[in-house]
Amino acid sequence: MPETIKNYIAGKWIDADQGKTFKSLNPADHREVVGIVPDSTAEDVNKAVAAARKAFPAWRDTPAPKRGEILFRAAEILVKRKAELGELVCREMGKVLAESLGDVQEAIDMAYYMGGEGRRLNGETVPSELPNKDARSLRVPIGVFALITPWNFPTAIPSWKIAPALVAGNTIVFKPAEETPVCATRLVEILVETGLPPGVLNLVHGFGAQAGEPLVRHQEIDGVSFTGSNEVGEKLAALCGSSHKDFMMETGGKNPIIIMDDANLELAVEGALWGAFGTTGQRCTAASRLIVQNGIYDRFLQAFTQRATQLKLGNGLNKGIDVGPIISKAQHEKVLSYLKIGQEEGATLHLGGHSYVEGDCVHGTFIEPTIFTDVNPKMRIAQEEIFGPVVSIIRARDLKEAIDIANGIPFGLSSAIYSNDVNTTATAERDLDTGLVYINASTIGAEIQLPFGGTKKTGLGPREAGGRGGALDLYTKWKIIYRDYSGRLQKAQIDE
Ligand code: NAD
């Protein structure tokens, strides 16, 4: 039975103003409706923003350790309900069950980590150049934040944004992806259960143009955090720039793995398989280019192809499945179009290249794990994000050429190198122009206690997740306090 879900505004679960709904489907079997979802418009957005604005002063003034305790409580509930939530992620987004549970685990990690920030939101105290004067900085919240998220990490990415925004003292209007609204609703329900005051966290479902854009354009929104496609991100960046809103975006990737002649072949094959076909290639950090040195090329291609051939496609809830469905019919069409483009550009379709319609998969949107060889680094399949189980293999003569190819794209999220030579890996570590670099590991595997994000067209603004230079830099601004207790006019830079 599909579940009918609602918006959450000012502490109440309500339908969309115009009463319209849409359906979220199981991508492994489109006959299954997972949720019936409010199709919201600017009216709903207006109510949610008004609720968040009203709740802001009291939430800002709630001691940060208390705000953090709410996140600890949310983490505890997430732990208890992990199995149920993981199954839901699998049904609504399609990634295989082990990965779906990982999606929920990331939200647990983030809630605990950011809960701790409630007692660590520290600034600096520095000496003043004048006597009887203090100089210090403190973090203060920005105000009302719009959080807009994609479907590929339906629990994790919302938690990356909601947890730091809350602990920092902001109030929120959250617009999750239209493909995974039930997962988003579960997360909000859990936060509500912790005792979050009404209006602090508001949830508005709906589509980008009808709900997302009015939210970003709203005059009472102070900051926007967006994860999704470049096309949308760049439009929102322009909107926020012209209306002076704080903004962060994390968008696409075209991540390379370099495999050098001296690599551990088995390890490199495992990492390449996980990077290219894990999550059906629908990760911003997916490895969609394998840059392989000439001396190991034939052995690597043979072993990699053999392993890719053995991958099992199907509904991720079933045991033994390695690769789940593509999220939607539109995305399925997009991936298929790139399979055509690759062949028209002159690349060799080495493996796969078709929709997969065996058995139960006929009711879902599946594509065979696909390998292109004879790929020129400038081809579109080697430059543009495909977001599916499609990988291009590119030859390289040496490290310098491999790094030039790796860097020769508009994106800069993640990269990896397999080599057993310390000088080689250290050089790559220095020269790869990406936000994340992995040594002898795949392009996937970020942990939440360090910042996450990319260079070039991948990212703009502060990074997500934890650590210095992470999400708190987005969700707070610095306030500088000078306190003069000399009882006389003192002039910085002028007094002798
Ligand atoms: P998308 O841009 O289509 O949608 C993302 C969100 O933006 C959705 O909630 C959508 O409703 C909303 N949206 C769409 N148009 C909008 C508009 N005009 N105004 C406001 N909101 C709007 O992206 P997607 O297909 O959901 O996600 C896939 C993309 O996300 C890929 O490019 C992937 O690389 C990227 N991604 C990046 C990261 C990262 O951290 N770098 C992580 C995950 C996904």
pLDDT in tens, 255-293: 999 999 999 999 999 999 999 999 999 999 999 999 999
Residue 1: what pLDDT? 83
pTM (two decimals): 0.96
Q: What CATH number is attached to the domain comprising 270?
A: 3.40.309.10
**What domain range is 426 assigned to?**
255-439
| Cα–ligand 1 centroid distance for 330 (angstroms) | 14
The answer to whether residues 316 and 246 belong to one domain is no
Q: Which atom of ligand 1 is nearest to the CA of 232?
A: 2
Chain centroid to CA 408: how far? 23
Distance CA 314, CA 152 (A): 17
Residue 130 lies in a domain: yes
Positive/negative CA dihedral, 417, 418, 420, 424 = negative
Q: Which atom of ligand 1 is nearest to the CA of 175?
A: 9
Residue bearing the CA closest to ligand 1, atom 43: 284
> Residue 211's closest CA among 232, 186, 230?
232
Residue 102: what pLDDT? 98
Burial 21-52 (b: 16+ CB within 10 A, else e): bbebbbbbbeebebbbbbbbbbebbbbbbbbb
Starting at the earlier edge strand, list the strands of the sheet with 125-126: 125-126, 133-141, 476-484
Residue bearing the CA closest to ligand 1, atom 12: 208
Residue 65 CA: distances (Å) to CA of 71, 105, 390: 10, 23, 46
The answer to whether residues 287 and 222 belong to one domain is no
Specify the amino acid at residue 11: G
The residue written with tokens 């993640």 in the block is: 414
Residue 468: what pLDDT? 84
Residue 107 CA: distances (Å) to CA of 56, 69, 113, 408: 24, 15, 10, 34
| Cα–ligand 1 centroid distance for 285 (angstroms) | 14
Tokens of 185: 């609703």
The answer to whether residues 172 and 301 belong to one domain is no
The answer to whether residues 277 and 423 belong to one domain is yes
Catalytic residue among 178, 213, 284, 385: 284
Q: Write down the H helix ranges in 223-287.
A: 230-242, 265-277
| Cα–ligand 1 centroid distance for 358 (angstroms) | 30
| Cα–ligand 1 centroid distance for 319 (angstroms) | 30
Residue 349 lies in a domain: yes
| Cα–ligand 1 centroid distance for 382 (angstroms) | 21
Residue 243: what pLDDT? 96
Tokens of 182: 């039930």
For a mutational test of ligand 1's pocket, the pick from 227, 334, 455, 458, i.e. the residue with the most ligand atoms closer than 8 A to its C-beta, is 227
> Residue 385's closest CA among 298, 255, 239, 198?
255
The answer to whether residues 220 and 313 belong to one domain is no
Starting at the earlier edge strand, list the strands of the sheet with 3-4: 3-4, 29-38, 21-26
Q: Which atom of ligand 1 is nearest to the CA of 148?
A: 9
Residue 496: what pLDDT? 87
CA angle 239-241-245, nearest 5°?
Answer: 90
The answer to whether residues 214 and 309 belong to one domain is no
Residue 451 lies in a domain: no
**pLDDT tens per residue across span 82-121:** 999 999 999 999 999 999 999 999 999 999 999 999 999 9
Contact predicate 473/463, CB 8 Å:
yes
Specify the amino acid at residue 490: Q
Q: What CATH number is attached to the domain comprising 88?
A: 3.40.605.10
Contact predicate 282/387, CB 8 Å:
yes
The answer to whether residues 230 and 148 belong to one domain is yes
Q: Which atom of ligand 1 is nearest to the CA of 213?
A: 19
Tokens of 355: 């929709």
What is the DSSP track for 169-195? T-EEEEE--TTSHHHHHHHHHHHHHTT
Residue 209 lies in a domain: yes
β-bridge mates for residue 465, sequence order: 451
Residue bearing the CA closest to ligand 1, atom 10: 208
Residue 323: burial class (beta carbons within 10 Å; 0-12, 13-18, 19+): buried
| Cα–ligand 1 centroid distance for 93 (angstroms) | 14
Task: Find all residues with CB under 8 Å of 126, minimum gap 6, and list them.
Answer: 135, 136
Q: Which atom of ligand 1 is nearest to the CA of 385?
A: 32
The answer to whether residues 313 and 283 belong to one domain is yes
Residue bearing the CA closest to ligand 1, atom 15: 208
Among this protein's residues, is 284 annotated catalytic? yes
For a mutational test of ligand 1's pocket, the pick from 210, 284, 450, i.e. the residue with the most ligand atoms closer than 8 A to its C-beta, is 284
For a mutational test of ligand 1's pocket, the pick from 37, 148, 434, i.e. the residue with the most ligand atoms closer than 8 A to its C-beta, is 148
The answer to whether residues 240 and 275 belong to one domain is no
The answer to whether residues 370 and 338 belong to one domain is yes
The answer to whether residues 81 and 172 belong to one domain is yes
Residue 93 lies in a domain: yes
Residue 453 lies in a domain: no
Average pLDDT, the chain: 97
Task: Find all residues with CB under 8 Å of 316, minimum gap 6, and list them.
Answer: 28, 90, 94, 95, 96, 97, 99, 100, 324
Ligand 1 binding pocket (C-beta < 6 A) is: 148-153, 157, 175, 177-178, 207-209, 212-213, 216, 227-229, 232, 235-236, 250-253, 284, 385, 387, 413, 454, 458
The domain total for the chain is 2
Specify the amino acid at residue 394: I
| Cα–ligand 1 centroid distance for 190 (angstroms) | 24
Residue 195 CA: distances (Å) to CA of 21, 69, 189, 199: 28, 10, 10, 12
Fill in the DSSP letter of residue 384.
S
Residue bearing the CA closest to ligand 1, atom 16: 208
Residue 492 lies in a domain: no
Kindly calculate the radius of gyration of the chain based on its CA atoms and give it in whole angstroms.
Answer: 24
Contact predicate 264/420, CB 8 Å:
yes
The answer to whether residues 399 and 477 belong to one domain is no
Among this protein's residues, is 358 annotated catalytic? no
Q: Which residues of the chain carry a pLDDT beneath 70?
A: none
Residue 167 lies in a domain: yes
| Cα–ligand 1 centroid distance for 248 (angstroms) | 13
